[in-house]
Amino acid sequence: MNDPAAPYDLAGLFGITGWVPVAHPEPRVILRLWQVFVDNVNPLMRIVHVPTTHQMIVEASWDANHAPPATSALLFAVYSLAVISMSPKDYSEMFSAPNGDGRVPPKPPSKFEVLRQYRTGGAQALLAAGLLTTRHTDVLRAFTLYLLGELDVELSSTMTAVATHIGMKLGLHRETSISYDNKEKTDGRNGKSYGQITFFEREMRLRLWWQIVRQGASVGNFGSVGSPNGGAICGSGGSGCNWLTAPDPRHMRLPLNINDVDLHPDMAGPPLEHTGPTEIVYLLMKYEAARWMRQFAERTFASQRAGKHNIHSPYELALAKDSAIDELEELFEHKYLRYCDPNIPLHTLTVCMGRLAVAQLRFQSWHPRVVVSAGESTERTPALFPQQSADAVFHNAVRVLDLYFTSRQVKRIKNSFAVFQMMADAVMRILVDAVVYVVSVLRVRTGWDDVTDGGGPEGGEGNKYALERPLRVVELFYAEYGDDLAKAAVDDKEQGQCEEVALTEESRRWISGTAFAVAFCDLTLEAWEARMVARRQDGETSTPEFIIALQQQQQERRQRKEQHKEVHTWTADPLQLSDDMSWKPVASWKCDGLDWELWNDFLQM
C-alpha cells in the first residue's frame, strides 16, 4: 500500500507515528482468522454478509498486500476482532503452527503485538481509502468493525461520532420502510443521486446503521436515556440531553428476521421473514430495546413538558420506570425469549442478555443514588427507601451479576468475542455498580433471617440459599477480576511521582482506578468481618481463598503506606479516600450506609 499523502495528517488520530506498510498474513492464516470471525464475532453484529464476503476474502487472500484499500481495511478489521475473540489456547495453537517453509516458530508473538500490527494496518488502509470523504458503504463497514476493537472508550466515542456523520452523509438513516421501489441511492446531505440501490444493499446498509447507533450508545456517545433536566432515565448518572441529539431509532425500521442465506445481491425484492428465531435474533431484541427506551423517554418527558403528567419526585419516577420495564420484559419474553432453544449457544446468550438488561434497568431505577440523593421524603413518598425497595435493589443487583456470570459459562461463549461485546453491552460500570451495592449490603445482611429477596423456598434452607447466592457472585467477581484489582491496588507505590506533575486525563483515570480498587477491597473485607462477627456463634471458621488474598493485600498496602509517609507527603493520596468513607456497620440497612456520590465518582474511571 502506498503512502497516501493527502490523509497522512490524520494518521495521528489512529495512533500511527510512522508509515511503514503492514503486511497481511499468509493465505492459510487469513482464512483461519476469517472462520474465527464468522464463528465468534459475526453472530453479534451481522453487518457482514458471510456468503458474499467469504468469496471476496478467498479471492483477496492470494494477494492481500495488493488488495484495494477498502478490502484491505476489512481484512485487517477481521484479523483484529478474530484475535481479540480467541482464547489463549486457541491463539497459541494458531500462531504456533508451522510456517509455509515447514518450520515451527519457537514462541508465538504476543497477542498485544499482533493486535497492534493488525490495527495499524487497518488504520493505514482506511486512510488510503479516503475515510473522511468516502461515499462507499464498504469503507464505512470496515471502519465500524475497526472501532469494535478499540478499547479506549473516549477515543472510540470520538471516532464513532465520525462514523455516525459518514453514515448520515450516505443516507443510511433514511431507511424507514420495508416498501421496495428500487429507489436511488442519494447523498444524505444534498440528495445527489448515485444510482439505483438493490434491496440487498438496502438491508445491509440498514444493519450497518443500527450497529453504528448501537456502538454510539455503548461508548456513551448517545449515552443513557436522559431527561431534558439532566436526570438519567435508565442510567445511574445524569447524562444530560443526549437522547435529543442521538439518531432516533423510533423512525428506523428493524432489520428483517432472516438468515444470511435468505439474502442475495441480485434479489428482486424482500424475502419472506421467518416467524421463529434466526441468526439475527440477538440483535433484533437489542434494537427493539433501543426503540423502547426512546419511546419511554419521549412518552414520559414530552408529557411532562406539556404539563399532562408531572413527575413530582424521584420515587414517582422510579414507579414509572418500573411500569415501563414491565412492558419491556413482557416484550422480550413473548416476542423473543420463549422461542429460544437452550441448546443453541446464541439463543442461550440472547436469553441471558435479555434478562440481564431487565435486571440492570430495575437495579438502576431504584438505586439509592437515584431515589434518595435526588429528593426528600414528602407526604407523597412516605419513605424514600423503605425495606421493600432495598430488597428489590439487592435482589436485582445479585441477579445482574448472576446472569452475567451464567452467560460466561455458555458453551462456545466463555472465551469468545461475546465476552468483549458483553462488556460494552452490559457496561462494565453497571457490573461494578452492582457488586459494590451487593458487598455494601452484605456488611449488614449477615444472617439468614434478614434475607427477603426470594432467593429460594420460604424459610430455613431457602433463606440460606438466598444469602449464599450473593456471596457466591462476589466470589465469582473476584475470580474474574481479582488479579486486575490487585494490580491496580499496588500501583500506588508510584503515585509519589505525581506530586509535582500536572495530572493528565490518563493519570487522573489511573489514580481513580487505584483508589477504587483499594476502596472496594476494603469494603469487601468489612463485609466479611461483619459476617464473621455475626456467625461466630455458629462456629463458622472457614475463610474463602479470595478473602485471604484480600487480607494479605491490605496488610501489604498498609506497610507500603507507612514507608511512603516517611519519604513523601502527598495531600491528594487517593489511598486515604478509603479511610475517610466512614463505612461502619449499622443495626439495619439504611440508604445512607455509603456515600453513593463518592462511588459515582469512582465509577467514572
User: pLDDT category, 219, cuts 50, 70, 90?
Assistant: low
Are residue 29 and residue 117 in the same domain, yes or no? yes
- Are residue 129 and residue 155 in the same domain, yes or no? no
Average pLDDT, the chain: 74
Digit-coded pLDDT (tens) for 137-195: 999 999 999 998 887 777 888 899 999 999 999 999 888 766 655 555 555 444 444 45
Q: Please give the Cα distance from 485 to 482 (Å, whole number).
A: 5
In a domain, 193, yes or no: no
Domain count, the chain: 3
Most confident residue range from 213-227, 351-365, 374-388:
351-365
Lowest mean pLDDT among 61-70, 219-228, 489-498: 219-228
Give the three cell numbers for residue 361: 434497568
Are residues 486 and 423 both part of a single domain?
Answer: no
Angle between helices 345-365 and 314-335 (to 10 degrees): 170
At residue 373, the pLDDT reads 53
In a domain, 145, yes or no: no
Q: What are phi and psi of 392, to 5 degrees?
A: -65, -45
Give the domain range for residue 484. 466-491+505-561+591-604
Residue with the larger pLDDT of the pair 380 and 46: 46
- Look-up of cell digits 459494590: 436
Residue 355 to residues 329, 330, 344, 358, 397, Cα–Cα distance (Å): 8, 11, 17, 5, 12
Q: 436 and 474 share a domain? A: no
Burial 124-138 (b: 16+ CB within 10 A, else e): bbbbbbbbbebebbb
Whole-angstrom distance between the N-terminal and C-terminal Cα of the chain?
A: 38
What count of Cα atoms within 13 Å lies in the side-chain half-sphere of residue 102? 0
258-262, 533-537, 551-555, 569-573: range with highest mean pLDDT: 258-262
**Largest Cα–Cα distance of the chain, in whole Å?**
81
Alpha carbons within 13 angstroms on the beta-carbon side of residue 39 total 16
Residue 450 lies in a domain: no
Cα(184)–Cα(196) distance, rounded to whole angstroms? 4
> Do 81 and 218 reside in the same domain of the chain?
no
162/19 same-domain check = no
143 located within any domain: no
* Cα separation, 434 vs 360, whole angstroms: 9
pLDDT of 439 over the 50 cut: yes
Residue of higher predicted confidence among 195 and 272? 272
pLDDT at 52: 97
Residues 524 and 435 in one domain: no
Amino acid at 310: N
- What is residue 555's predicted lDDT score, i.e. its pLDDT? 86
Q: How confident is the model at residue 603 (pLDDT cuts 50, 70, 90)?
A: very low
Q: What would the pLDDT profile of 288-347 be if each residue is shown by its tens digit?
A: 888 888 787 777 665 555 455 555 566 677 778 888 899 999 999 999 999 999 888 889
State the cell numbers at 479: 475470580
CA distance 342 to 201: 33
φ and ψ at 230, to 5 degrees?
A: 100, 0
Q: State yes or no: pLDDT of 569 exceeds 50.
A: no
Among 381-390, 469-478, 491-500, the range scoring the smallest mean pLDDT is: 491-500
Asked, for residue 579, whether it belongs to a domain, the answer is: no
Give me the count of residues in the chain.
605
Structure confidence at residue 384 (pLDDT):
57
Residue 457 reports pLDDT greater than 70: no
Which residue in the block uniquely carries the three cell numbers 432467593?
455
CA angle 280, 284, 285 (to 5 degrees): 120
- Given this model, what pLDDT does residue 600 score? 45
Q: Mark which of 106, 133, 160 sits at the end of a domain.
A: 133
Residue that wins the pLDDT comparison between 500 and 48: 48
Co-location of 315 and 420 in the same domain:
yes
Kindly state whether residue 260 falls inside one of the protein's structural domains: yes
Mean pLDDT, rounded, for 197-224: 81
Specify whether 157 is located in the same domain as 295. yes
Residue 440 has pLDDT above 60, yes or no: yes
- Its pTM stands at 0.75
Q: Does 111 lie in the same domain as 164? A: no
Asked if pLDDT for residue 576 goes beyond 50, the answer is: no
Q: Is the pLDDT of residue 267 over 50?
A: yes
Last residue of a domain, one of 77, 105, 133: 133
In the numeric block, which cell numbers belong to residue 599?
Answer: 462511588
Which conformational region is residue 195 in: left (phi greater than 0), alpha (psi within -120 to 50 degrees), or beta?
left
Distance CA 347, CA 337 (A): 8
> Do 363 and 471 belong to one domain?
no
- Compute CA distances 158 → 88, 153, 248, whole Å: 31, 9, 19
Tell which wins on pLDDT, 90 or 247.
90
C-alpha cell at 144: 465500524
**AA identity, residue 319:** L
The mean per-residue pLDDT over the stretch 541-556 comes to: 86
pLDDT of residue 222: 39
Phi/psi-derived region of residue 329, left when phi > 0, alpha when psi is between -120 and 50, beta in every other case: alpha
Domain boundary among 78, 106, 133: 133
On whether both 230 and 342 belong to a single domain, the answer is yes
